[in-house]
Amino acid sequence: MRDRFLPDPNAAEFRDEAVRDTRAGLAILVGIAVLVIAGWGMPFAIRVIAEDGVHGTYVVQDTSFDCQPSRGTCYSRTGTFTSDDGKVVRTGVHVRNRLPQPVRHGDRIPAFDLGKPDQVYTKVGSNGPPVALPFLGLVVGLFVLGGGSRYFWLKRKRR
């Protein structure tokens, strides 16, 4: 016997609403996950932007470079970093961000070390994914979380 007061669970309208509820709930969970991941990388990205860390000079040891002429940048895989006070010396490090062209063996480039054993950042060049991804994740996470939340907010207002 069918109850007149409860919706028929087999009705298309009931299933469509359940699917929309599920999608909105998943959007909220995905938005929170993206925000957590972006927040995890944010302190490091801010340190790169602020040029925090030990300042010094990076000396290019490479003889061949991975260059992108369209961007006017090159990537140095091997070099030596020496801090301004001479207390920190790291050999075999690479520049995490790209350097403006032209780059030659022996070039001295102002750089800073954030404590990672095999990489340093330069004050010139593009910072790339370590800086951009947390900020992009923040925007995407807020957008997705907001979309799922908006659905439930509007659904609540309709009742």
Domain ranges of the chain: 16-47+133-158, 52-122
pTM of the model: 0.66
pLDDT of residue 10: 65
Low-confidence ranges of the chain (pLDDT < 50): none
pLDDT of residue 137: 92
Residue 83's closest CA among 119, 47, 57? 57
Residue 60's closest CA among 116, 101, 98, 109? 109
Distances (CA, A) of 83 to 46, 89, 93: 21, 7, 13
The DSSP bridge pattern shows strands 108-113 and 73-75 to be unpaired
Point out which residues pair with 89 in neighbouring strands. 82
pLDDT of residue 16: 79
DSSP of 94-132, one letter per residue?
EESSBEESP--TT-EEEEEE-S-TTEEEESSSB--HHHH
- Looking at every residue in the chain, the average pLDDT score rounds to 83
pLDDT tens digits, 58-97: 888 877 777 777 777 777 788 899 999 989 888 888 887 7
SS3 88: coil
pLDDT of residue 110: 87
pLDDT of residue 126: 61
pLDDT of residue 130: 67
